[in-house]
Chains A and B, each alone.
Chain A
Amino acid sequence: MGFCSIVIALVNNDAPNQNKHKVGLEIHQQLDSNNKLFCNCKIVDSPEYDFTFKRILHPTQSEMGSYDQAAVFESKKIKTVKYLSSKNSNCLIESDEEPPEMVNTEALDLVLTISLALHCTIEDELHVMRKIVIDGSNTTGFQRTILVARNGYLDVDGVRVGIQSICLEEDAARIINEQKDAARIINEQKDDTVDTKIFALDRLGIPLIEIALDPISNTPMFVTNVAQTIGRLLRATKKVTRGLGSIRQDVNISTNGGAVVEVKGVQQLSQLALVIEYETKRQDGLNQIAQELHNRKIHESAFIGNIIDVTDFMQQSNSKIVKKILSGDSRFMALVLREFHGMLSFEPYQGIRLGKELGEVAKSYGIGGIFHSDELPNYGITGEDVKSLASILKVDKNDAFVLVGGPSVLLNSVISELTNRIKKAFSGVVAETRSVRLDGVTVFSRPRPGSSRMYPETDIPYISINENRLKELSKHIPLPWNEVIDQLCKKYPINRTLAENIFDSQYFSLFEKIARHTSINPSFIISKLTEDFVRLERQGYDCSILTQNDLFYLFEQLDKSRISKESIPIILEKLLRNEGSSVNEIIGTLGSEGFTEDDIDGIIKKVIEENHKIISQKGMDSIGLLMGRCMSILRGKVDGEKINKQLVTRLTEHLNKS
């Protein structure tokens, strides 16, 4: 669903520490442009992939001669990346096989216009930069990005919120769940090792606007409102893409001036408040853990004890999990933490523990096998095992230890990252990038990248912005959202709620198309495209699989009276249940085909004929009963209103005759 159609009911105004944290929002919105940002490929939905290739990415130095720590982190778990490319939506440029074309002016003009609408100062000259990203999501190993404007503002609920910067960027490739998408890959050779990441290139290069806001110290509700206001401003341009994934928020959260944690990829507005709540709680928890370490007088430089290979011992264990981990070329290492007994499971808030943080770090390397002494015995590791380990590791009752099991090649990196993470626990919150789950819980993904990741894109000349261009663009500043809604209400005409619902939805352009090409009542179209879809989603259907072409065809059939209004939800459900390959096929199975005006008339006449006794008793009052009989034959096939009208005509005739 489009991001603004989510009800903001989950916002908790009583979130803890609401005035101590700062939230910086970064909003990424896909632009609805004809072409991609740096090539002439069209933007095509869900193509088939007809070509694959593999790459290995390496970290490179910034122009200042330093490496970005996030890039270095990614490179340590370097993997082969496989890319799926499609003739329809990809050329040599997305494969990093050809220099980029000049910046897409349509997209740039739109970003300039939005910058003007947000009262920003536009840079005199724009420089395309390479932001190093070597997780595989960009074939080049960097994302091209242009700082377009800075220092603007917008007013939300009477509060002024600063705009830090506005950038024009290229979207990244889409990570692929192989099983789900396998069907779409043609000519596939099955030779992949497990550690291959897979990305599809159709999304790579789509222009994105990134709007970064000044940190906000306000309620999660307010932050959500800010995001919604910006989303609506963007949609008011009518030149942005709608639908899931077309708008994404990164949220930077810090507590009490501490380190900034970047939560990436919040796709739904309803998640925003949940993320803020979870993160502020987690950060407060981490600070309490730091305090506890301090209270226990554990020394930051002296807590690390032995690091010992315990593979031989672990091989004796009967634990199924341990056996599974050791089945490949894997080893087990133990890391002793002096005086740490109880620290790893110390839990200032439910679910906030140092042990969990360590588990997430290990998981980011693809290592699931991490156990610590505070949670043992468990997982099939017995009390006996723990005792023996304690003696092998020479730990006393005040110490703790962590067991890490996984591929030998990774273990050293993981252990060093874990010790790093524990060291950082002494100062509380760690500056890092985290991903987010639907319930708002955040998970470690990598250290926070710094400015070292920026390198000039030497393939594209500088772009000078002159005053005339800005003057011309300022004429196209979108109307405020309220006025756009007013206009919609007048144009169709529809009521305000419907106008708001459809305008926030991903089906807005579809709605306009249907309303333009058919004579169907606009309010009816909207209620189908919004309320019916919300209902179907609640029933657990994934409405995103319905294509706009299918939906348009469906309404066209209604307009031609080939189907009835009532049959629309039935057809939609059948489509969602995959009970037919096309709308046409499903309409066929409904049997509504062949019901001509004459047929309907015939059925009505027959019903009147069969019930003439009742009619003679009740007269016009028999209409309800007759309607019921007609509907039992024609339900879902012919529009009820139409039947009713015809029935009234025929019944009147019948009564007049007799």
Chain B
Amino acid sequence: MNTCYHKTNFTKIASRDFIKDNKSTHNLLIYTLYKVIEILSNDENHTKLKELFSRFNVNLGDSVIIETDNAKHEGILIPRYEYADVNHLVLKLKNGYNIGINLGKIKNIKKSLDKLDQIIIDPNVNFTEGDKSRDYADSQLSNLSLLSTGGTISSKIDYRTGGVMPALTAKELNDSIPELKKIANIDPEVVLSEYSENIRPEHWTLMTKRIADNVLSGKYDGIIISHGTDTMHYTAAALSFALQNLPIPVVLVGAQRSSDRPSSDASTNLIGACTFASKSKFAGVFVAMHHTLSDEVIACHVGTRVRKNHTSRRDAFHSIDISPFALVRKDQIELCEQFTDLKFNERCTNLENFIVRSNFDDKVMLLKFYPGFDCNIIDYCVQKGSRAIVLEGTGLGHINKECFEQIQTAVKNGIFVFMTSQCIWGKTSLTVYDTGRDLLEIGVIPLSNTTSETALVKVMWCLGNFEDKEVAKIMTSNIANEFTNRIITA
């Protein structure tokens, strides 16, 4: 790579929204740069571009003058999105605009003597100028551990190697969100670098262990996990079961708008999460995200009750069948009206009751019933060695009678079959109609208003840490607020 790309620091909170191709927007440039290098070396389709570059002895990042049939274009060669067609190259013009030039029209490319990169990168403009960052801990403030799991909350890009190096320092974090240094001393650490949708149960185990280590170190007043939002509620549920009787709060946080946008919700969410983690009277696992569309109030949800209910809104996360646990408004924490319905320990220093059960068995299927559902899918689960099936039934928790035979077979084979509702809100009730009573008869275990996502995670956790004979009992006991004892009318 040409060195005109200076080393830069990006601060990112994992997010994969506003994207067309299941790849995160953030670091898209780096990503595409990376990809183009790959494409240039691997993809047959891009041989045209590769040939062109080698014919004229130029490379991505070079300042060039491109001559076509009818025009002369001056600019920097820029990477192209992976999914774009192969007939154009991308040029960044002096005025900052990018354009695509049809390869077929190109007559000549020569390197420009004009160092465009020096025009574009003004070394005098430095946002952190005058901002004295913390290189010592403020003893008045609490100490937080920030574990980054998805995308990266911050990464350093080396354009020469094309590599994305997670390199998070307290300084870089404080530089990008100056408010943080007034809230807590934060130790950032990169645990994982995965998009939300790539998170697997073994990642939950890894996170659990890292959190447990930091809790047991006694150094921290709270732990923040930055996470991609798509599966954040699964992870929140997993950590809620795996880490019991936590002495301090563990707060997951994400962003619905990636932090390459000035309007990103990353910093308000992170500030809210850090405020809650350092000041909350209660310990446990929470998710901190926007409460409304405004950058004002951050809602802290219970790890097992939270669900992502919108593809793109900032306030996509809702507590199901209950109010959020607390709201963070500026530096104040307001406990919500229903927090008394929940079982949370107060913050403590005593580690004796802290229990870590970090295993998850992923031989569990989550099946959504729908009109036309093929009952043989249940047989397939049995054959594939599933140990449990979580059904997302209709309404109060029903499924077509035609499937009863297959369910019976599954149960007889020692497979646990649980019932949740696809209604999202409300409890299952299998005693109201015949269908429900029959399902109970067969041995299906209803899970009340445990959300189907939380139910899935809980079964994985049960199977990973307990003997079969204990599973039914644990699944129907309230371990981490996955059941609410009452749903209020509001």
Contact = CB atoms under 8 A, between A and B. Distances in A.
Contacts of B125: 66-69, 72, 452
Contact of B88 (A71, A92, A125): A125
Interface string A433-472: 0000000000000000011111110110110100000000
Interface string B99-132: 1111001000000000001011110111100100
23 contacts: A53-B294, A57-B262, A61-B10, A64-B121, A65-B8, A66-B120, A97-B313, A97-B314, A99-B19, A124-B100, A125-B99, A126-B100, A141-B261, A141-B263, A165-B97, A451-B119, A452-B120, A454-B92, A454-B96, A458-B81, A461-B84, A462-B88, A464-B87
Contacts of B85: 462, 464
A71 B96 CA distance: 15
A98 B25 CA distance: 14
A125 B260 contact: no
A95 B263 CA distance: 10
Q: Which of A59, A62, A96 has the most CB of B within 10 A?
A: A96
A63 interface: yes
A147 B99 contact: yes
Given A68-B125, A147-B93, A127 B99 contact: yes
A455 B313 CA distance: 22
Interface residues of B, number: 62
B10 A127 contact: no
Nearest to A54: B294
B472 interface: no
Contacts of A57: 262-263
Contacts of A456: 28-29, 98
Interface in B68-85: 70-71, 78, 81, 83-85
A142 interface: yes
A108 interface: no
Interface string A143-157: 001010011000000
A345 interface: no
Contacts of A145: 97
A121 interface: yes
Given A53-B294, A55-B295, 16 more contacts: A54-B295, A54-B296, A60-B259, A60-B261, A67-B127, A71-B262, A98-B312, A123-B99, A141-B263, A145-B97, A450-B120, A451-B96, A456-B98, A459-B25, A461-B20, A464-B88
Interface in A126-141: 126-127, 129-132, 134, 139-141
A416 interface: yes
A165 B127 CA distance: 30
Nearest to B97: A147
B293 A53 contact: yes
Given A64-B121, A147-B97, A58 B262 contact: yes
A124 B71 CA distance: 11
B476 interface: no
A458 B261 CA distance: 11
Contacts of B294: 53-55
A124 B99 contact: yes
Contacts of A633: none
Given A54-B296, A69-B122, A97-B313, A132 B97 contact: no
Given A55-B294, A65-B5, A140 B100 contact: no
A614 interface: no
B292 interface: yes
B295 to A, nearest CB: 5
A56 interface: yes
B268 interface: yes
A96 B259 contact: no
Contacts of B90: 127
B466 to A, nearest CB: 42
A53 B262 contact: no
B401 to A, nearest CB: 41
A134 B264 CA distance: 12
A459 B99 contact: no
Nearest to A133: B262
A134 B262 CA distance: 7
A69 B125 CA distance: 6
Interface in B230-265: 257, 259-264
Interface in A71-109: 71-72, 75, 80, 92, 95-99
Chain B's interface: helix, strand, loop or mixed, by majority?
Answer: loop
Interface of A: 53-69, 71-72, 75, 80, 92, 95-99, 121, 123-127, 129-132, 134, 139-142, 145, 147, 150-151, 165, 167, 416, 450-456, 458-459, 461-462, 464
Contact of B81 (A56, A92, A98, A461): A461
Contact of A124 (B97, B101, B119, B313): B101
Contacts of B105: 124
Contacts of A69: 122, 124-125
A130 B25 CA distance: 13
B465 to A, nearest CB: 40
Contacts of A453: 96
B121 A462 contact: no
B274 to A, nearest CB: 16
B312 A99 contact: yes
B95 interface: yes
A63 B5 CA distance: 9
Contact of A450 (B17, B99, B122, B313): B122
Nearest to B259: A60
B127 A462 contact: no
B94 interface: yes
A195 to B, nearest CB: 14
B101 A96 contact: no
A139 B100 contact: no
A190 to B, nearest CB: 15
B18 interface: yes
Contacts of A129: 96-98
Contacts of A99: 17-20, 312
Contact of B292 (A53, A127, A147, A455): A53
A99 B84 CA distance: 19
Interface string B293-317: 1111000000000000001111000
Contacts of B28: 456, 458
A55 B263 contact: yes
